[in-house]
Structure 1
Amino acid sequence: MSTRWYPIYQRGNPQLRVFLPNFWMKLVRPTEEQPKNIATFSVSMEMTKYDVKNYLEKIYKIPVVDVRTRIELGPTKRDQVYGHITKDDDIKYAYVTMPRETEFSFPDIFEKKAETKANDEKSLDESKNGFKNFLERNKKRPGTPGWYSF
Structure 2
Amino acid sequence: MVLTLARRGLKKIYFPNIIFRLVRAPNLASNQVAFRVPPKVNKLDIRDYLTHIYQVKVVDVRTMNYAAKRPVRKKSGVIRGHYHSRYKKAIVTLCEDFVYPPEPDRLYLDEFEDKAEMVRLYTRKLAGWKSRPQRINVRVKERLNKINEIEKQNVKEDLD
- Pair member with larger Rg: 1
Question: Who is 2:84 aligned against?
Answer: 88
How big is the shift at 1:27? 0.6
Question: For the residues of structure 2 that align with 1:107 and 1:20, how far apart are their CA atoms?
Answer: 23
Query: Which has the larger share of helix?
Result: 2
Aligned mate of 1:37, from 11, 31, 55: 31
Aligned mate of 1:98, from 83, 94, 97: 94
Question: For the residues of structure 1 that align with 2:70 and 2:53, how far apart are their CA atoms?
Answer: 36
Is structure 2 residue 21 aligned with structure 1 residue 26?
yes
Deviations 1:93-123 (A, max 9, x none): 1111011xx111222224687xxxxxxxxxx
Question: For the residues of structure 2 that align with 1:112 and 1:78, how far apart are their CA atoms?
Answer: 31
Provide closer, same or farther for how the CA distance between residues 20 and 62 of structure 1 changes in structure 2, counting only shifts above 3 A: closer
Deviations 1:51-99 (A, max 9, x none): 0000000111000011000012333223689x44553211211111011
Normalising by structure 2, report the TM-score: 0.49
For structure 2, the 5+ residue unaligned runs are: 1-13, 108-160
Question: For the residues of structure 2 that align with 1:110 and 1:24, how far apart are their CA atoms?
Answer: 19
| Partner SS state of residue 89, structure 2 | strand
Contact 2:66 2:87 in 1 (8 A): yes
The amino acid that maps onto 1:28 is V
User: CA-atom RMSD, angstroms?
Assistant: 2.9
The amino acid that maps onto 1:43 is V
How big is the shift at 1:20? 6.1
Contact 2:35 2:90 in 1 (8 A): yes
Provide closer, same or farther for how the CA distance between residues 110 and 22 of structure 1 changes in structure 2, counting only shifts above 3 A: closer
Mapping 1:1-150, distance limit 5 Å: 21-30=16-25, 32-78=26-72, 83-84=78-79, 87-99=83-95, 102-110=96-104
Provide closer, same or farther for how the CA distance between residues 21 and 107 of structure 1 changes in structure 2, counting only shifts above 3 A: closer
Question: For the residues of structure 1 that align with 2:15 and 2:101, how far apart are their CA atoms?
Answer: 28
Normalising by structure 1, report the TM-score: 0.51
Provide closer, same or farther for how the CA distance between residues 57 and 42 of structure 1 changes in structure 2, counting only shifts above 3 A: same
For structure 1, the 5+ residue unaligned runs are: 1-18, 114-150
